Amino acid sequence: MSSAQIASKAVKQLDPEDIIVLKGLEKTLTRFESIPIEALKRITKLDAGKIEFRLGRLNAFGFVMKSQFGYTLVSSGLDALALHSLVRRGLISGMGRSIGMGKESDVYEVISDAGEKAVIKFYRIGRISFRATRLKRSYSKPDAHNQWLEINIEAARKEEEGLVRALAAGVTTPKFIARDRHAVLMSEVEGLMLHRCRKEDIENPRELLKKILENTRTAYLKAKIINGDLSEYNILFDGEKPWIIDWPQYVNPDHPNASEILERDVENILGYFERKFGEKIDQRKALEYAKGEKKSL
């Protein structure tokens, strides 16, 4: 089971005091590698006996890790806090199947209170290296070792901004629903990653390519953002429209490398369509179109 699945199973069994202790550990995460019971007493205002009892439960759920010096929050504990909060806000009621697991994120289908399907994306940047670091370290030093928390929250914030700006400008992208910590909740696209589509799934590849470039142009001109990771892996096709996803690395047109980044996005897409479908559009023309220097393709 993945860390988020463990969290979703356990989240329903958490008591208010479990949450208080988890939040206490979260607060100190970037300051301490491992937090002693004494410090937790101050933060949570609970007595040592209660804290130990709660830590025992949290340890059994896999939300904290114990060392000789104390306890630290691990990523499934952070998942639990995010899920707990989204459940309390009445936004989700259950977690479904995993729909994407990569280096930087885990994506799941979720069910809303109203019974509708949505998607939750948990950021996991640095998952491997941070785990290795944690195993090597022992005692609490206020340095960069637990930065994974902030880095992942920042990525989720950035994705939120990207989604909201792109959608408001008319880009075909999932609808942002909510964010909590490192988790982004958005509408589900009923489509297949472009890279997974077979040739016969796409009736008119040239039309599809044009629609992708049109979205790139809308994002650039109206939302004033460049996706920055545009490729066949970040486009979903629903049989009709291309959906642009995955925005945490977006840049504004006044970014010092904006030109190169936009050029790379356009190049990736043109290259893919040429390789897979033999569809060719001149790169210079496509770029001028994306930047609004040309009215049509």
Ligand X SMILES: Nc1ncnc2c1ncn2[C@@H]1O[C@H](COP(=O)(O)OP(=O)(O)OP(=O)(O)O)[C@@H](O)[C@H]1O
Residues 165-224 that bind Mg ion (CB under 5 A): none
CB of residue 297 vs ligand X: minimum separation in angstroms?
26
Burial of 233 (0-12, 13-18, 19+ CB in 10 A): middle
Residues 215-234 that bind ligand X (CB under 6 A): 234
Residues 227-246 that bind Mg ion (CB under 5 A): 234, 246
CB of residue 267 vs Mg ion: minimum separation in angstroms?
17
Whether 265 is catalytic is no
| Candidate list 24, 70, 77, 174; residue touching ligand X; CB under 6 A | 174
CB of residue 260 vs ligand X: minimum separation in angstroms?
21
Which is catalytic among the residues 106, 113, 180, 229? 229
Q: Does 107 bind ligand X (CB under 6 A)?
A: yes
Q: What, of Mg ion, ligand X, none, does residue 185 touch, CB below 5 to 8 Å by kind?
A: none
How many whole angstroms separate alpha carbon 208 and alpha carbon 146? 43
CB of residue 20 vs ligand X: minimum separation in angstroms?
32
Q: Does 100 bind ligand X (CB under 6 A)?
A: yes
Query: Is the Cβ of residue 77 or residue 228 nearer to ligand X in the bound state?
Result: 228
| Candidate list 65, 151, 169, 193; residue touching ligand X; CB under 6 A | 193
- Residues in contact with ligand X by CB under 6 A are 99-100, 102-105, 107, 119, 121, 174, 186, 188-189, 193, 234, 245-246
Q: Which residues participate in catalysis according to the annotation?
A: 229
- Residues in contact with Mg ion by CB under 5 A are 234, 246
